[in-house]
Structure 1
Amino acid sequence: MSEAATHSTATSPGPQPAAPPTPGLLTSLEPLLREWLPRQRWFAGKGRPVAGFSLVAATELLPVGGRPDDSRSGGAKAGLLHLLVRAHQPLVPSQGAPVQPGDCYQLLLGVRETLPPHLAPALIGHVTDGPLAGRTVYEALHDPRLADVLLEALRTQARIGDLRCARDTRLALPEGLVPRLVTSEQSNSSVVYGDTFILKLFRRVVPGANPDLELPLTLSRAQCPRVPAPAAWMTADLGPATGGGGADPETHVLGVLQPYLKGAADGWELALSMLAKGEDFTGEARALGRATAEVHAALAEALPTVTLGRPQVESLVDGMTERLEAAAQAVPALRPYASGLRTAFDALADLAAEGHTWTAQRIHGDLHLGQCLRSPIEVDARHSGGGEWSLIDFEGEPSKPLAERRMPQPVARDVAGMLRSFDYAAHSLRPPAADWASVCRAAYCSGYADVSGADPRTDPVLLRAYETDKAVYEVVYEARHRPDWLSVPMAAIHRLATDTGPATT
């Protein structure tokens, strides 16, 4: 992609393993993938049967015939297959519903004759026929030797089949960094190398510039210290012959390697810990508001901004209203509040009709406490003005189309997401700590104003609309996935359906 070219291009190609035995490969793996894939946290088609798969691309990163492995894998032989596989599912889970090609998933499969005991949790299954007959297939990221292969490909800027690795050559990528898989639930997969770098591998792959590479590269060039700069990245150039769908090959971003902030605290976990201890979090909230404003300012300086007038705002309001109506159909508890919630969107449309305009720019797109890292004190000392908070994961909401995630939007959307996150933290206690949420929300907005010069609360109609839209989304998510948490967004729904602005003070 163009952003990659600004730093470096691959020099001499890396090792070129022979093409994998693709005839019959997917057919032999399909029974295993039908059972294993829907159980993964990052599989988007839950609740709908998998009718079949199609192979988009297959690359042998380590020969499946194997070679003697190092001591960490017990001297066994292991192969590594990189697959891009499209799952075919009906649009609705009813019998006889039409089946359509669905999401494309990135799979990294280890192949062995037998699986050592320490890799038992990674088991996918045993292949009975086809080119891998008699072999055991497993999730490769659990295997340190195979995770090493990925880092080496990035370090050497390898080109293997359709895969392309590039890096920022200003950053050293040493050999011998011990890998470990991040086991917490994520919508993607991450591997930490020697507490120095973290590799994020995107599981759902789409063509185009992934904002989780595009925006950190942009912020790196703008010398914004609030976002870890990409050190290396992996892409695939796929054309019509390999499932890209267009006349010319399209770039698909597969993974991004960034510095690992050792000792950094996850913003969500930090907030919960301080809340449980009764400690004041307003200073952290205010600092986080300043960090958010710094990132927004850097993005607005580096990338184009647009003005949203009446047509654009009416389109925005229509989308919010449609999501509310669909949510009310899906979650009966929301229906009594629908008319009150709709006033938040109508008020925004009324302002646009009166001639009000808003500036839109590139933003984070899915901002909450879990997307923020608080660095330890010894790291803070290197930054002037208090550089303790970093923002990560600029992918946006993976369920939304890439084009929508890359659209300029008002910064109020990010602010609303963070305000909702404070509410979630407060409601983790019983009874909920409503006052804690209120003072943190106010401190965050004040910190934002310290840097931007504009307090988000001075535009209450826009902020209420975005917070309402976010709370409606949360209601649907919790009703489907975590019914025990439904009371959290419903508390906000009750407030937003009756208030004229977000409760930030």
Structure 2
Amino acid sequence: MLTELLTGWIAHQRWFAGKGRPIDKLDIDSDIELSRGLRHLIVSVHQAGTHDRYQILLGCCADDVPDKFRHALIGSGFYDAAHDADLTTTLLEAMAEGRDIGPLRFRHLDDVHIDTSLRSLVLGVEQSNTSLVYGDAYICKLFRRLIPGVNPELEIVNALAARKAAHIAQPYGWIETDLDGEPTTLAMTQEFLANSNDGWALALASVRDLYAWPQESASDAGGDFSSESFRLGTATAEVHHELADAFPTGVMDPPEVRRLMEEYLRRLEQTVAEVPQLAEHAHVAEEAYRRVCEVAHEVPVQRVHGDYHLGQVMRTPTDWVILDFEGEPGQPLAERRALNSPLRDVAGMLRSFDYAARHLLADHPEAQNLLPQAAEWAELNRSSFLAGYSAGGGRLRGEDAVLLRALELAKAVYEVGYEARNRPSWLPIPLAAFQH
């Protein structure tokens, strides 16, 4: 009965990766009682020859589920206990005490104190994970879809915290188990950055201010963001240096660089076939990839963020903090942990500035008239970010600029495909990347 209830419920969760495809079978691989009324499940979902594993905090009631949990109802007597603050204290308590509960291991960093009296609230903005905020002190991210291995975010943040690195949120603890013989991260708990704002919201406030006074330049408008972009660039370079010190580094030799550009060409051709509007701009990307092969020698590579944009950074009262080092969730774990050019992160942030400048124009009645202001804002903040990155010690030499341009266009090609499939009205945003 429980498997049938879970099958019907899981297909409608935001974090379920198999939407739109029928579920052939759901198996319960693991069922551990964490405390009275709280069970931890790992389930396997089989769809068209593939199978993914997910974790569920299962609340169990002898009678009907209370009305306050109706929004989290799974079925008769069962609900998603991530929403039950009376039960989720167990997670903090077990991490603080370093318990083993069956195959689950709850751990904490040395020399940290965890306040187990705090109650949790589900943060309602995520798609692929579920985050519990305990008071204004901690945020515990539950990785819903489970991939065997240590999550890159836990690996990176713990390593940087051991080095007393700035620009990260303090880690406190984590939950793990073994899947397919590998230690696998189930959840991690970090400092919750209360009284902070994410970079995307701050950038949009600046753009809105500019659009309200279109006669002013981006640098004169009341919402000038360029000084923050500079500080963010400096913080990015400093984190890249910390990553290079904490993890192995390497170089990509010319044949590897050529292979990477050939892969970008294949992706370009596939996207042109899917989105014909890209065809007239394809030569811009082709030329950028060719230039890399001409000038690039050995390209330094290291661990990077991997999914870097304005939504992944928070402005605290004192500085910028970088979050979500897990990379692109849809990519294999080995690819997310692979060494890359740090310019990949730089390119991602440059694309994010373009998105911040232009996405408000998608349905704006004065969109055509405001395009010059959008371009000016984006250019000002892109150049400020790059200046800050250089000031922080980030490498940006002549040949690096050629590689950066190619990486940015490769990202724009991906965005073209994504927007064509999901948000057609936003398609002009990535297409504009090929015109400057």
Out of 346, 350, 361, the residue aligned to residue 302 of structure 2 is 361
CA RMSD in angstroms, aligned pairs only: 1.8
**Counterpart in 2 of 1:168?**
109
Measured after TM superposition, the shift of residue 457 of structure 1 is 7.0
* Equivalent of 1:52 in 13, 20, 25: 25
Out of 349, 357, 360, the residue aligned to residue 429 of structure 1 is 360
| 1:159-198 correspondence runs (5 A) | 159-198=100-139
Task: Rate the CA distance shift 1:220–1:232 in 2: closer, same or farther, 3 A.
Answer: same
Within 5 A, what are the aligned runs for 1:189-268?
189-238=130-179, 244=180, 249-268=181-200
Q: Is residue 102 of structure 1 aligned with residue 51 of structure 2?
A: yes
Q: Please, which of 35, 41, 47 is the counterpart of residue 89 of structure 1?
A: 47
* CA distance in 1: counterparts of 2:183 and 2:224, whole angstroms: 46
Amino acid at match of 1:83: L
2:243 is the counterpart of 1:270: no
| Closer/same/farther in 2, CA of residues 458 and 83 from structure 1, 3 Å limit | same
- Structure 2 CA distance, aligned partners of 1:457 and 1:309? 17
Contact 2:130/2:142 (CA < 8 Å) preserved in 1?
Answer: yes
Distance 1:391 1:404 in 2: 20
Counterpart mapping for 1:24-423 below 5 A: 28-63=1-36, 79-90=37-48, 100-112=49-61, 113-126=63-76, 136-238=77-179, 244=180, 249-278=181-210, 279-352=223-296, 356-376=297-317, 380=318, 388-423=319-354
Structure 2 spans left out of the alignment, 5+ residues: 211-222, 362-366
Shift in CA distance, 250/32, structure 1 to aligned 2, threshold 3 Å: same
User: What is aligned with 2:214?
Assistant: none
The worse-fitting range, judged by mean Cα deviation, of 314-323 and 409-418 is 314-323
Q: Which amino acid aligns with 1:47?
A: G
SS of structure 2 residue aligned to 1:83: strand
Give the structure 2 partner of residue 450 of structure 1. 391
Return the alpha-carbon distance in structure 1 between the equivalents of residues 244 and 9 of structure 2.
43
Do 1:219 and 1:229's aligned partners in 2 also have CA atoms closer than 8 Å?
no
Write the mapping of 1:469-484 to structure 2, written as runs, cut at 5 A.
Answer: 469-484=410-425
Of all paired residues, the percent bearing the same amino acid is: 45
Aligned amino acid, residue 36 of structure 1: W
- SS of corresponding position for 1:459: helix
- Kindly indicate whether residue 417 of structure 2 is the aligned counterpart of residue 459 of structure 1: no
Give me the whole-angstrom Cα distance separating, in 1, the residues matched to 2:398 and 2:4.
54
Q: Distance in 1 between matches of 2:225 and 2:333?
A: 35
Partner SS state of residue 378, structure 2: helix
- C-alpha distance after superposition, 1:40-76 (max 9, x if no partner): 222222232221123332212124xxxxxxxxxxxxx
> Is contact 2:89-2:116 (8 Å) kept?
no
C-alpha spacing 1:434/1:189, structure 2 compared with 1 (3 Å): same
**In structure 2, distance between residues paired with 1:315 and 1:270:** 38
Structure 2 counterpart SS, 1:55: strand
Aligned-residue offset at 1:424:
0.7
Q: Distance in 1 between matches of 2:282 and 2:394?
A: 35
- Cα distance in 2 for residues equivalent to 1:139 and 1:457: 53
Note the C-alpha offset of 1:205.
Answer: 1.1
Conserved? CA contact 2:237–2:394, under 8 Å: no
- Given that 1:415 and 1:456 are in contact with CA atoms closer than 8 Å, whether structure 2 keeps it comes out as no
- Deviating beyond 6 angstroms after TM superposition, the runs of 4 or more aligned structure 1 residues are none
Matched residues, number? 413
- Cα distance, 1:187 vs structure 2: 1.9
C-alpha contact 1:412 1:456 (8 A) present in aligned 2? no
**Does the CA-based 8 Å contact 2:170-2:190 persist in structure 1?**
yes
CA contact (8 A) 2:174 2:189 kept: yes
**Paired residue type of 1:455:** L
Q: Distance in 1 between matches of 2:263 and 2:83?
A: 41
